[in-house]
Structures are given as structure tokens and as C-alpha cells.
């Protein structure tokens, strides 16, 4: 392994080498920046980066080691930050021109967590305008491409993070997820992505106003990475306490022993899961059984399709007119189309409907919580389809509806507040990523990480795209 290839190592290996002073954080950062400069022009995954600043942070880590201090568990690990969260001195754009000059004066809790753990932020990653889509394109930063196959979406809204991690631009990518925005890019780009439990990772942007009800009860930050162990390391860094988020929960990262019992559902709520994903789920179940898990196939799970309606009501039913006005002012075709597709539902929502959806969310979360008393993990599809053709949702009203129907598990699961993980299980003969999704009990990320690791250990490692 030459110093130039340090960019290809997992975070756990990089941190171990840096902490042992076998390589310096500065050497790792130089390698990561060289990789970024080599592949990013074809991807547009990273939309802003400052090499001198990254190297200055790396030099501080090396200096701390020289002085005998512990720089943290992610010592020298290159990470990327999504443009939706505050990073001091950078614009929190959310992919829109209206925020191109919204410069953060302080770091969000996520960025502070990475820095405290010794990580080196090397760039800001792209998102669709307003983070509305499972496709990543906007008028400010441009179009992000999938490094596995250019004709496929890199996912969204953390499409830049997924593309960056898959191409070796950083070992860990930060993402956010209200309706699949971590899990879907991980799936589409052929890496892994963890959506933590609601309240696990503190959230706050001083640059903007506080989130509405939908965002408060469903949006989270989480990591994308090429190994499950790297997801675990990243979660530890991101889950630190921060008084700026009163909904942060001081739950332990490792809970008591849980029974190794999993439920397998190939077609939750009648989802028309494609044959390739059903086969991936069956194979993942066999890997779990080989690892000593009891896996039971279930035809029925707690509500997911109904949860989709709750999600859309709480998200689009809250000041829909304001959302539309902002999208039209921005002029972004994707954002306008995303909102237009939900017009009928959004305009039908009154205060009583909104209140009823919030109440029903509690019932759905309760049903899932009780189900997870029997099963420690649920294994189910990440989507009904293989990753979509890029910009499929803009081709026709029928294609828009097809996309939203296929994404039932992406949209519905956040209503439960439970952690979920998109796990890559390989690529098909055309280079299209394939994967599965795992759901765990509340604040039991440790359990789904262990289950995912058992599957990962029995398959080929995640490859780096564009080698």
C-alpha cells in the first residue's frame, strides 16, 4: 500500500495507522484530496472544498499526536459533509441559489462531532434543491452522477455523499434522511447507509429557522460508508450530546444482549418487490442463519403503506403554499415537480387532518415498537425496484408515480422513529447495485449493525467505483 493509496482504506484502518503514527494525518489528507481532484470532475459529488483548510486540520491532529494527546477515534479520517448542515465559513445551501450566501457562523453538532473525533472534513457534498428528491441535481451546484453507472441516479437527497463514498472520496459521508435520503443514495451507489433512531444524533443549524413538525419528528443525520464497522465508528462520533438540540436522547450506543431473531418480509404491505431484490433478501437471510440467527419469514408487518400517508401529510401538509412559492422562485424543475406531484394530497390537508396524522404516527410507532419486542431485526426491501434511471421522476406523471410507489419503505419507516440500514449486497452483471434494508428497535443501532456485519462478513467486500 503506497501513501497515494491511503484514500482507499476504510476509516477504521486509517485511524489505526494514524494513531500508531505509521502514517500521518497530513499524508492521508493529501491522498484523499488527490483522489477527490482525480474523480470528482466526472461526478460532481463534492461541490466545495478547501485543501488548505483540510491540511491545516490534519496538521493539528499530527501535532496532537506528537505532543502525546489522543486526537480521537477517527484520527485523520477524511469525511464529507452535506451542504444541508452548518459548517463554519461555508454556505448552507440546501442546493438552492437563494442560500448561496448563507454562510454559517458556527458548526452544526454533526460537524463538531466529527472534528472532536479527529476526522478531517475534505469537502461539501451535493443535494437536490430543497433536498426533495431521490435524484441529485440543482441549478446552483449542478448534476451529481452515479460512479457505478452514469445512467443511474446516485440517489437523493444525500446523492453527493453516496457518490463520494462509493468513489473513494472520503471514507465516511455525512447524510440526512427524512424519507430515505441516507438509505437510498447508499443503495443506489452500492455502499452502506445508516439512518439512526430519532433523537440519536443532535441536529441544529444556527443559520436557519427551526424545523417544522415533519422535520422534527422524522428527519435525522447519519453516516454512509463502505464498511459496517465504519458506520459504527461514524455513529459514535455523530451521537455526542449537544444542548442545542433538546430532543437529543442520552441512550447508550450499546444495549443489553438481544435475541438473534429476525423477521424477513419480501413484499411488505404488498410492495411489488422485483425478483432481484427478493433474491438478495433470501440470500441475506441465509447468511444471518449461518451466523446463528433465527430468521422467520413474515407476510405481515406493522403498517408501512399507511405510514407513507402520515409522512406526506406531516411533510407536505405543513405550509404547502409556502413550499411551492419557494420552489417557483428558485425555478428548479425537480423541486417544482416533486411538490406538484403531491398537490392533491397537500391541498386536502386541513388542521384536523394534520392533527390526526400526528396522532396516527404515535399508533404506528407503537405497533412497530411492540413488533420489535419479538424480533430484534426486520429484513425487508430498500425499494421495490433496482436503482432508478437518472431523473426518472421527471419523465412523465406515470414515472413520477412509479418512483413514489416503489419507495414505500424509504418513505414510511421514518414515521416509526426506528433505526434502519441500507446494506449493499453486491452488483449485478450490468454493474447495478443490489441491497437490502434492516430495521432495529429504538436506539438499537448496535443490533442492526451486528446483523449487517454478519451478512457483510459472508459476501464480497464493497468495491470502490472508478478504480
The residues spanned by each domain of the chain are: 3-456
Residue 1 predicted with pLDDT over 60? no
Q: What is the pTM of this model?
A: 0.98
Residue 133 and residue 119: Cα distance in Å, rounded?
29
Q: What is the mean pLDDT of the chain?
A: 97
Alpha carbon 185 to its chain centroid, in Å, reads 7
Q: Out of 108, 157, 158, 221, pick the active-site residue.
A: 157
Q: Are 279 and 270 in contact (CB under 8 A)?
A: no
Could you read off the pLDDT of 24-40 as tens digits, one per residue? 999 999 999 999 999 99
> Is 420 one of the annotated active-site residues of the chain?
no
Distances in whole angstroms, Cα of residue 18 to Cα of each of 62, 118, 275: 8, 10, 44
Q: Which of 12, 24, 82, 207 is catalytic?
A: 82
- What CATH code would you report for 3-456? 3.90.1300.10
Of 175, 178, 123, the residue nearest 154 (C-alpha): 175
Residue 3 has pLDDT above 80, yes or no: no
pLDDT class of 467 with cuts at 50, 70, 90: confident
Q: What is the pLDDT of residues 86-101, one digit of tens each?
A: 999 999 999 999 999 9
Local confidence band at 2 (pLDDT 50, 70, 90 cut-offs): low
Is there a catalytic annotation at residue 82? yes
Q: Is residue 181 annotated as a catalytic residue, yes or no?
A: yes
- Residue 126: which of 117, 115, 135 has the closest Cα? 135
Distance CA 264, CA 266 (A): 7
How confident is the model over 388-404, as a mean pLDDT?
98
Tens digit of each residue's pLDDT (9 = 90 or more) over 298-338: 999 999 999 999 999 999 999 999 999 999 999 999 999 99
pLDDT of residue 216: 96
C-alpha torsion angle, residues 421, 427, 428, 432 (rounded to 10): 80
Catalytic residue among 181, 197, 207, 221: 181
Angstrom distances, CA of residue 164 to CA of 126, 195, 368:
10, 18, 33
Q: Nearest-CA neighbor of 110 among 125, 128, 130, 95? A: 125
CA distances from 132 to 3, 6, 94, 138, 292 (A): 39, 35, 10, 11, 40
For residue range 412-460, list pLDDT tens digits in order.
Answer: 999 999 999 999 999 999 999 999 999 999 999 999 999 999 999 999 9
Residue with cell string 458556527? 106
First CA to last CA across the chain, in angstroms? 15
Rounded percentage of the chain residues whose pLDDT exceeds 90: 99
Q: What is the pLDDT of residues 235-284, one digit of tens each?
A: 999 999 999 999 999 999 999 999 999 999 999 999 999 999 999 999 99
Amino acid at each position: 500500500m503506497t501513501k497515494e493509496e491511503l484514500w482507499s482504506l476504510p476509516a477504521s484502518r486509517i485511524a489505526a495507522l494514524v494513531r500508531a503514527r505509521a502514517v500521518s494525518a497530513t499524508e492521508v489528507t493529501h491522498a484523499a484530496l488527490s483522489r477527490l481532484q482525480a474523480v470528482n470532475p466526472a461526478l460532481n459529488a463534492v461541490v466545495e472544498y478547501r485543501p488548505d483548510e483540510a491540511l491545516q486540520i490534519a496538521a493539528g491532529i499530527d501535532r496532537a499526536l506528537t505532543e502525546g494527546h489522543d486526537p480521537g477515534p477517527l484520527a485523520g479520517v477524511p469525511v464529507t459533509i452535506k451542504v444541508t448542515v452548518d459548517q463554519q465559513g461555508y454556505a448552507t445551501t440546501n442546493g438552492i441559489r437563494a442560500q448561496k450566501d448563507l454562510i454559517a457562523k458556527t458548526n452544526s453538532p454533526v460537524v463538531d462531532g466529527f472534528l472532536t473525533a479527529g476526522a478531517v472534513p475534505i469537502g461539501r457534498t451535493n443535494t437536490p434543491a430543497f433536498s426533495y428528491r431521490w435524484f441529485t441535481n440543482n441549478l446552483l451546484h449542478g448534476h451529481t452522477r452515479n460512479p457505478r453507472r452514469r445512467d443511474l441516479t446516485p440517489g437523493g437527497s444525500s446523492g453527493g455523499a453516496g457518490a463520494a463514498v462509493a468513489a473513494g472520496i472520503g471514507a465516511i459521508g455525512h447524510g440526512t434522511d427524512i424519507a430515505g435520503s441516507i438509505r437510498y443514495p447508499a443503495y443506489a451507489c452500492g455502499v452502506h447507509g445508516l439512518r439512526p433512531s430519532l433523537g440519536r444524533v443532535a441536529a441544529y443549524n444556527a443559520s436557519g429557522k427551526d424545523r417544522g413538525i415533519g422535520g422534527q419528528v422524522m428527519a435525522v443525520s447519519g453516516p454512509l460508508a463502505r464498511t459496517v464497522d465504519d458506520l459504527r465508528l461514524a455513529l459514535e462520533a455523530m451521537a455526542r450530546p449537544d444542548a442545542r438540540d433538546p430532543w437529543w436522547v442520552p441512550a447508550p450506543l450499546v444495549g443489553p444482549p438481544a435475541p438473534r431473531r429476525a423477521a424477513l418480509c419480501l413484499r411488505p404491505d404488498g410492495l411489488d418487490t422485483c425478483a432481484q431484490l427478493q433474491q438478495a433478501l433470501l440470500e441475506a437471510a441465509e447468511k444471518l442463519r449461518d451466523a446463528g440467527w433465527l430468521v422467520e419469514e413474515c407476510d405481515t408487518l406493522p403498517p408501512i403503506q399507511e405510514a407513507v400517508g402520515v409522512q406526506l401529510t406531516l411533510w407536505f401538509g405543513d405550509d404547502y403554499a409556502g413550499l411551492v412559492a419557494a420552489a417557483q422562485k428558485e425555478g428548479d424543475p425537480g423541486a417544482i415537480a416533486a411538490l406538484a406531484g403531491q398537490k392533491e394530497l397537500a391541498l386536502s390537508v386541513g388542521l384536523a387532518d394534520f392533527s390526526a396524522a400526528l396522532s396516527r404516527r404515535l399508533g404506528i410507532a407503537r405497533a412497530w415498537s411492540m413488533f420489535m419486542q419479538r424480533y430484534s431485526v426486520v429484513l425487508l426491501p430498500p425499494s421495490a425496484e433496482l436503482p432508478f434511471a437518472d431523473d426518472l421522476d421527471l419523465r412523465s406523471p406515470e414515472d413520477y408515480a412509479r418512483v413514489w410507489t416503489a419507495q414505500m419503505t424509504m418513505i414510511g419507516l421514518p414515521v416509526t422513529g426506528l433505526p434502519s440500514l441500507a446494506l449493499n449486497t453486491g452488483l449485478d452483471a450490468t454493474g447495478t447495485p443490489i441491497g437490502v434494508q434492516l430495521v432495529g428497535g429504538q436506539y438499537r443501532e448496535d443490533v442492526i449493525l451486528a446483523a449487517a456485519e454478519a451478512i457483510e462478513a459472508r459476501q464480497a467486500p464493497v468495491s470502490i467505483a472508478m478504480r
